[in-house]
A = this chain, B = another copy of it.
Amino acid sequence: MFSNVPPNAEITKIDFEGPKIAIYTRRPQIFLDNDSELIKRIAKTLRKRVIVRGDEKSRLQEETSREIISSLIPREAGLKDLYFNESIGEVEIELLSPEKVDPNILTRIFVETLWYPRVLRRPPVVSRSIKEIRDIYRAEVDYRRRFLKELGNNVYRTPLFETDRVRIVSLGAFQEVGRSAVLVQTPESNILLDAGLKPTSGGDELPLFDLPEFDPQNLDAVVITHAHLDHVGALPVLFKYGYKGPVYMTEPTLHLAKLLFEDYIKVAEREGKPQIYSAREIASVILHTYTLSYGEVTDIAPEIRLTLYRSGHILGSSLIHLHIGEGLVNLIYTGDIKFARTMLLDPAHTKFPRAEILIMETTYGSKSDLLPSEEEAVLELGKIIKETIDKGGITLIPVLAVGRAQEVLLAILNLIRNKLIPPIPIFIEGMIDEVSAVHMTFPEYLSQAVRNQIYNDQNPFTSENIHIYRGENKEEVVGTRPAVILATSGMLTGGPVLEYLKLLADDPNSSLVFVSYQVEGTLGRKILQGLRKLTFIEDGKIITKELKMSIYRVEGFSGHSDRRQLEAYLRRIEPTPRTVILNHGEKGKIAEFQSYLLSEWFKKKTHLTFNVLAPQNAEAIRVV
């Protein structure tokens, strides 16, 4: 197998490391010289991705290595910490500014110490959560190595069955919004795309994990598009049900998901609801996750290859592309998709090597689902804040912690920079600060504009205008005028925003601004529908307050494509899929969009002819 490897490469061990082959050598320079031609040749022969590692006995001692690394890393990169993972011979190098390290320096570190360098970004603010994830991996290096080895063995097993058919089983979010879960099933493999929860007034609903064709213990892989509860909230439940396999997602998604899970069980505890999982399952998720970058092609089953692409929805959000059965069929699942540039993110990816089947979200599938542009939304928000300042009031904005909060934060900072509003303090409360820390840790997932700001020490998330607040005495915040307060939850169903609302409710000079969709039955929705008598708990008693604030609704900050953008995406995606499967939308909106796509009018206008399907939950449809 390795006949074309020169004997002086001194290979001492070959091992699976997840879907990659790790080659342990005494002389990594042999692999790194000649412009890595050797690695490419081996990878091509094996048809697997290859990573070079240093032979265990040949690695320099930690102390010596530490000195060499410290001397090689330039001061401006801000070296904060080194961690030696002996299990695989990797040294984790935590830097404030990894972009300031020349790749050749990393090669030198590897060749001189035989420790493989992995660079991590240390965010400029303290993040408990990011540290915790790193600690979990470090505490379980041996478990992790065994898991990755087993994973490799499973991915590269000899297939028992011929892959001559591919089924899409709709476990959740078909003809509804919430509990996204799509099972891709071949005779050989089972891949689950997303594992979300559906919030309802009667408690959160799981996907149809009880369908007879779904068995968590028989899954080969779970792939997660992004860190919103309706796409990832049920993931820890799978581990409770006995799943022990890999989860694929981007690194930011993992970090954001951990925050969501922890917040979810905290809220459930506070509200006395049943705990559907615990910290134990959250740790399992982290230990079984294999993170991927956009565009990285990875084998996840003997006949299935996965690639994640940018979806434009929130930080780290992905489209999923599956290449199945050596070219039998290629399937794209959008998760949630934004086909427009926002301040925070670039738009969804459109070019694929092949794409016959497209499973697409349809949240805004109705003809009337047309949203204003983000520019218009920012200007409108500016006008509201300005008027509120003029009245001496406070602008209170309920936000979802992940995605919308950062977008609105950037909007307000832009308004200040462009002098459309004065440089007033912005108070944020909830888990928004931890979420912002994750944004700062993974700037390569942000829009080019924001990324460049971060690289050039103009990190908007550390702006002096932003005041992170966790104090109990909210009167102090409310007394600071003028000011803007961003607080969770986004639909007034709980969280610190309710405390602020209680203090501000009867202040006619202050404003309450909704920037995201308010689900039927939430307090936010009721206020939009005209509710003006609010009840709160104070010192154990129920008190009533008249809502005298000015109420606004600013649309245009959505992370979803509106109807126009959905259509534009279908026209732009390359190649054009033959079958479009609509999901993640209310029944009526899906029906409307389906008949539009099938209409003569659409066909004439676009010269596109799709087979358009709109399955219900609990169906299994053949795509091959």
- Does A187 sit within 8 A of B, measured CB to CB? yes
Q: Digitize A586-624: 1 where CB-to-B-CB distance is under 8 Å, 0 elsewhere.
A: 000000000000000000000000000000111111100
Does any Cβ of B come within 8 Å of A108's Cβ?
no
Q: Identify which of B190, B620, B621 contacts A213 (C-beta below 8 A).
A: B620
Q: Can you name 19 A-B residue pairings with CB atoms under 8 Å?
A: A165-B618, A167-B618, A169-B620, A187-B210, A190-B212, A212-B212, A212-B214, A212-B215, A212-B218, A213-B213, A213-B620, A616-B622, A617-B622, A618-B620, A618-B622, A619-B619, A619-B620, A619-B621, A619-B622
Q: Smallest distance from the beta carbon of A591 to chain B beta carbons, Å? A: 13
A416 CB, min distance to chain B CBs, angstroms: 53
> A342 near B: Cβ within 8 Å?
no
- Pick from A190, A218, A620 the residue with the most CB of B within 10 Å: A620
Which residue of B has the minimal Cβ distance to A622? Answer: B616
Distance in angstroms between the alpha carbons of A215 and B213 in the assembled complex: 10
* Inter-chain contacts of A211 with B (CB < 8 A): 213
B212 touches A185 (CB 8 A): yes
Q: Which residues of A contact B (CB under 8 A)?
A: 165, 167, 169, 185, 187, 190, 210-215, 218, 616-622
The chain B residue with its CB closest to the CB of A211 is B213
Chain B nearest CB, measured from A400 CB (Å): 32
> Chain B's nearest CB lies how many Å from the CB of A169?
7
Main secondary structure of the interface of A (DSSP, over half): loop
A320 to chain B, nearest CB (A): 21
Inter-chain contacts of A215 with B (CB < 8 A): 212
- Leading 10 A-B pairs by shortest Cβ distance: A620-B620, A213-B213, A212-B213, A616-B622, A619-B622, A619-B621, A619-B620, A165-B618, A618-B622, A167-B618
Interfacial chain B residues near A210, Cβ < 8 Å: 187
A179 CB, min distance to chain B CBs, angstroms = 15
- Per the bound structure, the CA–CA distance linking A237 and B620 in Å amounts to 25
- Shortest beta-carbon distance, A150 to chain B, in Å? 23
**A621 and B620 alpha carbons, distance in the complex (Å):** 7
Instruction: Report whether B167 and A619 are in contact in the complex, using a CB–CB cutoff of 8 Å.
Output: yes
Contacts of A187 in B (CB 8 A): 210
A212 to B210, CA, bound (A): 13
CB-CB < 8 A to A185: which residues of B? 212
CB distance from A208 to the nearest CB of B (A): 9
> How far apart sit A412 and B169, CA to CA, in the bound complex (Å)?
54
- Max chain B Cβ within 10 angstroms of own Cβ: one of A212, A213, A622: A212
- Which of A190, A213, A214, A218 lies at the interface centre, i.e. has the most chain B CB atoms within 10 A of its CB? A213
Complex Cα gap A215–B218 (Å): 15
Q: Give the CA-CA distance A621 to B617 in the complex, in Å.
A: 9
A214–B619 alpha-carbon span in the complex (Å): 14
Q: A218: which B residues are within 8 A, CB to CB?
A: 212
Additional A-B contact list (8), CB under 8 Å, known A167-B619, A212-B213, A620-B620: A165-B618, A190-B212, A212-B214, A618-B620, A618-B622, A619-B619, A619-B620, A621-B621
Q: Across the two chains, which residue of chain B brings its CB closest to A621?
A: B619
Chain B proximity of A184: nearest CB distance (Å): 13
Complex Cα gap A620–B165 (Å):
14
Complex: how many Å from CA A622 to CA B169? 12
Least CB distance from A46 to B in Å reads 31
A213 neighbours in B (Cβ, 8 Å): 211-213, 620
Query: Which residues of chain B come closer than 8 Å to A619, judged between CB atoms?
Result: 167, 619-622
Complex Cα gap A466–B185 (Å): 57
